[in-house]
Structure 1
Amino acid sequence: MTYHPKSEFLRIMIERSFLADCTDMQGLDDAMMAGVVPTYIGYDATAKSLHIGHLLNIMMLRWLQKSGHKPITLMGGGTTKVGDPSFRADERPLLTPQVINENIEGMQQVFARYLSYGDNATDAMMVNNAEWLDGLNYLEFLRDIGRHFSVNRMLSFESVKSRLDREQSLSFLEFNYMILQAYDFMELNRRYGCMLQMGGSDQWGNIVNGIDLTRRVIHGEVFGLTSPLLTTSDGKKMGKSQDGAVWLNGDMCSPYTFWQFWRNTTDADTGRFLKLYTELPVEECDRLGALGGAEINASKVILANEVTTLLHGRAAAEAAEATAHEVFEKGGIGDDLPTLELSEAELSDGISIVQILVRAGLAKSGKEAKRLIAEHGARMDDVPLSDAGLMLTAAALAEPVRLSAGKKRHALVKRAG
C-alpha cells in the first residue's frame, strides 16, 4: 500500500518526484509533524562552484526550509581530503587545505541564493566537517568507531562493489570515506540535533551506515532520504553539456549560458524539470509539460526563466531571454552573449579563427575547432566558416562579430576598449 504522508515536505517530495527511497517514511513523517527536523546534505569541496548536478538536492533543501524545517549544508573540508569513491572509476585527486577553503567560499555564494541562513529555528546552517575530523585521534577513532563497521557489509554496497567488479583499485584511504561520512551524521546529531540526511541514491549505503552508527553509539533516532540519480530522456547524465559541467557560479558560467542550457531541454524532460527545478504549482508543470508542437518551446522558455531567476535573479533571466530572442529570432548579435575581447596587441599580427573558437568557449581544443570548420558547423555572423587558416585582424573586428558552433551555441568577439 502506498504511504500518504501528512507532513508538507514529504508530500512535496512525492508530488514533485524528488523521492527515490526513505529508511522509515512513517517515522520521518511523524517527526516532521512533531516539530522542526534539522536535515543535512554533504558537499565535498572539489571545485570552486557547484554545478547543475547539485541543483536537485539544493532544491530539496529549499523546499525543506519552506516547509518549516532546518537545512544544514555540510561542507566537506575534512572528507574532501580523502575523496568519495561512490560510482567513480578512479581515485579523486587530493587537494590542499588552501584550495579546499577557496572552493568552499565559492560554493557558499550559490547556497545563499537558495537558502536563508541565520540563527532562527528554521534558518539554514553551514557547517564544516573539518571541525571534528581534523582533530581525530586515529587509535581512539578505531577503538570507538571502527569496531561498529563490518567490512563484509561495506563490500556489499553498490558503490564499492561496482569498482571491485571492474577490478579497479580501491585504496584504503577511500574505503575510510564511508566511515567518516557515517561519523559526520553522528556528530551532526550530537551537536545540532540533526535527524535526517538526504542525498542522491548512490549515497544510500553511506546514509544507512550513518544511521546505524548514530543509533549504536549515542542511541539517536535518525533517518535517511534519497533522490533519484537523474538522467535526461536521451540517457545523458544530468548537468553535462557539450562543454562539460554547467556551473552555478556566474563567473564560471554566464547567466545567458545557464539560461540557454534549460531552454535547450528536450520536449520529454520539460514537465519533469519544471516540477524538480522550479516552484511553479505541480498542476501548471504538468500542463506546460504536456503541450505539443511549437507550444512546448514556450514551456521551455518558462523553465529557463524560472530556474535562472532562482539562481541569478529576475533581471538576469529577462536579459537572457531578450538576448536569445535577438539572436535566434531576429538574427541580431545580442548584448548578453558570452563575450571574448581581444586586445589591439593580439590583433596586430592577426589571430587564427581556430584559436578564437577555443578561447570563446565554442570548442574545447584546436583539433575540435578545425573539425567544426571542416564539417561546416562553425559560422561567423551566420556565414559558414570554411578556412581553418583564417586570421582575424583589427580591421575584421571594426564591428563585433558573432561566432556560432552548431545551432545553439554562440559567442560575441570584439576589440577590447
Structure 2
Amino acid sequence: MNFVEELRWRGMLHDIMPGTEEELNKHMTSGYIGFDPTADSLHVGHLTQIMTLIHFQRAGHKPVALVGGATGMVGDPSGKSAERNLLSEDVLNHNVKCLEDQLKKFLDFNSGPNSAEMVNNYDWFKNFTFLDFIRDVGKHLTVNYMMAKDSVKKRLEGETGMSFTEFSYQLVQGYDFYYLWKEKNCQVQMGGSDQWGNIVTGTELIRRKAAGNAFAITTQLIKKADGTKFGKTESGAVWLDPAKTSPYKFYQFWLNTTDSDAKSWIRIFTLKSQAEIEELEKEHDLAPHLRILQKALAEEITVRTHSFDALQTALKTSDFLFGNGSLEFLNSLSKEDVLEVFEGLPQFTISKDEFSAGINATDLLAEKTTVFPSKGEARKMISGGGVSINKEKIADPALILNTENLINGKFLVAQKGKKNYFLIMAE
C-alpha cells in the first residue's frame, strides 16, 4: 500500500494535487510539513500532521519537519478570525528548541537515505532583506492571486481586517517551499486542509520563478462527532509536553472519547493495520462497555508520545482513582509524581503539627478543608459509608486522624462517593 492509499483508507486525505500520487510512486521523495512555534509545546491538534510524516517515512519517503522560526514571527492567518500576538525573538527561540525536541521523538532521524530531517526557516530568512524579498519573491505573485485565497477573503470581510504582516504570510511560506525544493529537492508539501492556499502558493512560486513542478497534499481537519473542536477540554488544550498535560490526563483524554470518535481516531492516530483495527472494532461492538477501541487508541498514542513507563503510571493512576488500585502505588511515587496524579483535583495543605496532635475526621473534612460544606453533611456522609480515607471506608465521624495515617508521612487521600477525590498534604 502506497502513502496516498494509506492516508485514504485511514480517512486522513482531504486534497491532493493532480500528479502527486504518480510522483510519489516513481521514487523516494522528500516532503515537508511546517510547525509554527507559537508555544513551547505541540498539542494533540498537531498529531495528525505528525502521523502524516510518520506514514510518509514508513512508505519509504524522506520526511522533513520545518519549525518556523521565521514564520512564527509573522503569524499565519489561516483559520484565524483575528491577528495573533507576535512573540519576542527569545521566546520564539525557546519554543523552536522545544518543538524540535518533541518532533525527534516521533520520526526516525537515523534510518539512512530516508532519515528524517529538521529545518528552521529562520536559517534562510535571517539574512534575507526586505528589498531582496519583494524583488525576488513578491514580483512573481499578483495581489489578485493572493487576495483570492479563502484565508485572506474571510479576514478582509471581517471586522478586524488583516495587517500587511499577515497578508505577506503566504509569500513567506511559499518561499519556504521554493527554498526546500531548490536546496533539499523537496517535491511535496503537506499540511491540514486549511493550509491548501498557502501550499499551492508555494507550488505556483516554484512554477513561476523556476519553471519547476512541485506537489501538494492536505489532510482532514479533525473534529469530534458532535462538532466540537478536537483537542480541547474544559481545562484547555491537551499538550504533548508532560509538564503541561500529565501522561495520565493525556491517556484519559483518549480513553474518554466516544465510540464514533474512537472508530475514526484509531485509524488516524495509531499505526495499527486495517485488519487489526477491523478486528478491534468487532470485539468492541460485542462489548462496548469494555471500551476496547478507546483503550487500544489511548495506550498506543500514550506510548508514542511519552513512553511505555508513562503509560504504566497512567494505567496505575486510573486503576487507583477508578478501580481497585492500592495505596502501594502512591507509596512508590515521589511528592512531584503524587501531585501529578492528583493534578486538576482539589488539594489542601494542613500543618504537620496539627496531624501530630490528631484531627477529628469531621473537622478535617468540613472545617480544615472544604471536602464538605458543613460538619452536618460530613457526619451524615461518613455515617452512611460514603467516605473513604486512603481507600478505606470510615464509619465514625469522630475518628481521629494523625501522622500515622499519612502516606509517606506527607499525604492523605479523601474520597467522597465513588469518584470525588481530594488530596490533603501535611507540611
State whether TM-score is above 0.5.
yes
Partner SS for 2:230: coil
Deviation at 1:17, TM superposition (A): 1.1
Q: What is the distance in 1 between the residues matched to 2:304 and 2:421?
A: 24
Native 8 Å contact 2:342 2:423 kept in 1: yes
Q: Counterpart amino acid of 2:155?
A: R
Q: Which residue of 1 aligns with 2:308?
A: 314
Q: Does residue 84 in structure 1 map to residue 76 in structure 2?
A: yes
Partner SS for 2:305: helix
User: Which of 117, 126, 134 does residue 125 from structure 1 map onto?
Assistant: 117
Q: What is the distance in 1 between the residues matched to 2:421 and 2:253?
A: 12
Q: Which moved more, 1:151-160 or 1:120-129?
A: 151-160
Q: Does residue 49 in structure 1 map to residue 52 in structure 2?
A: no
Deviation at 1:347, TM superposition (A): 9.7
Deviation at 1:152, TM superposition (A): 2.1
Q: What is the distance in 2 between the residues matched to 1:409 and 1:19?
A: 42
Partner SS for 2:76: coil
Deviation at 1:329, TM superposition (A): 2.0
Q: Which residue of 1 aligns with 2:341?
A: 338
Q: Does residue 414 in structure 1 map to residue 406 in structure 2?
A: no
Deviation at 1:28, TM superposition (A): 2.0
Partner SS for 1:39: strand
Correspondence 1:334-373 to 2 at 5 A: 335=330, 338-339=341-342
Partner SS for 2:41: coil
1:147-206 deviations in Å (ceiling 9; x for gaps): 222222322222122222222221011101111000000000111000110000000100
Q: What is the distance in 1 between the residues matched to 2:127 and 2:412?
A: 56
Change (3 A) 1:15 1:129: same
Q: Which residue of 2 aligns with 1:249?
A: 241
Give the RMSD, CA atoms, in angstroms. Answer: 3.4
Partner SS for 2:216: strand
1:92-151 deviations in Å (ceiling 9; x for gaps): 111111111111111122211110114832011110101111211222221221122222
Native 8 Å contact 1:263 1:300 kept in 2: yes
Native 8 Å contact 1:339 1:413 kept in 2: no
Q: Does residue 305 in structure 1 map to residue 283 in structure 2?
A: no
Change (3 A) 1:141 1:260: same
Q: Does residue 195 in structure 1 map to residue 187 in structure 2?
A: yes
Q: Counterpart amino acid of 1:210?
A: G
Q: Which residue of 2 aligns with 1:158?
A: 150
Q: What is the distance in 1 between the residues matched to 2:161 and 2:303?
A: 43
Change (3 A) 1:146 1:406: farther
Deviation at 1:50, TM superposition (A): 0.3
Q: What is the distance in 1 between the residues matched to 2:325 and 2:168?
A: 56
Q: What is the distance in 2 between the residues matched to 1:171 and 1:401?
A: 55
Deviation at 1:319, TM superposition (A): 2.5
Q: Counterpart amino acid of 1:338?
A: V
User: Which of 82, 105, 116 does residue 113 from structure 1 map onto?
Assistant: 105
Q: What is the distance in 2 between the residues matched to 1:138 and 1:150?
A: 17
Deviation at 1:411, TM superposition (A): 7.2
Where does structure 1 lack aligned partners over 5 or more consecutive residues? 1-6, 358-369, 371-378, 384-392
Partner SS for 1:197: strand
Native 8 Å contact 1:41 1:73 kept in 2: yes
Native 8 Å contact 2:352 2:403 kept in 1: no
Q: What is the distance in 2 between the residues matched to 1:136 and 1:218?
A: 19
Q: Which residue of 1 aligns with 2:376?
A: none
Native 8 Å contact 1:380 1:402 kept in 2: no
Partner SS for 1:46: coil
Correspondence 1:201-220 to 2 at 5 A: 201-220=193-212
Change (3 A) 1:344 1:59: same
Q: What is the distance in 2 between the residues matched to 1:412 and 1:185?
A: 52
Q: Does residue 34 in structure 1 map to residue 26 in structure 2?
A: yes
Deviation at 1:409, TM superposition (A): 8.9
User: Which of 42, 64, 71 does residue 56 from structure 2 map onto?
Assistant: 64
Native 8 Å contact 1:338 1:410 kept in 2: no
Task: Tell me the percent identity.
Answer: 36
Native 8 Å contact 2:4 2:21 kept in 1: yes
Change (3 A) 1:228 1:222: same
Correspondence 1:387-406 to 2 at 5 A: 398-399=406-407, 400-402=411-413
Q: Counterpart amino acid of 1:47?
A: A
Deviation at 1:407, TM superposition (A): 8.8
Q: What TM-score, normalized by structure 2, do the two folds share?
A: 0.79
Change (3 A) 1:294 1:136: same
Q: What is the distance in 2 between the residues matched to 1:406 and 1:127?
A: 52
Where does structure 2 lack aligned partners over 5 or more consecutive residues? 331-336, 355-363, 374-385, 392-400
Q: What is the distance in 1 between the residues matched to 2:147 and 2:11?
A: 30
Q: Which residue of 2 aligns with 1:4?
A: none
1:225-277 deviations in Å (ceiling 9; x for gaps): 00111101111111111111111012221111111110011111111111100
Q: What is the distance in 2 between the residues matched to 1:194 and 1:124?
A: 12
Q: What is the distance in 1 between the residues matched to 2:264 and 2:238?
A: 19
Native 8 Å contact 2:350 2:425 kept in 1: no
Change (3 A) 1:208 1:408: farther
Q: What is the distance in 2 between the residues matched to 1:118 and 1:46?
A: 28
Q: Which residue of 2 aligns with 1:285?
A: 277
Change (3 A) 1:397 1:138: farther
Q: Counterpart amino acid of 2:182?
A: R
Q: Counterpart amino acid of 1:314?
A: F
User: Which of 2, 13, 28 does residue 8 from structure 1 map onto?
Assistant: 2
Max radius of gyration: which structure?
2
Native 8 Å contact 1:270 1:289 kept in 2: no
Q: Does residue 234 in structure 1 map to residue 226 in structure 2?
A: yes
Change (3 A) 1:62 1:316: same
Partner SS for 2:240: coil
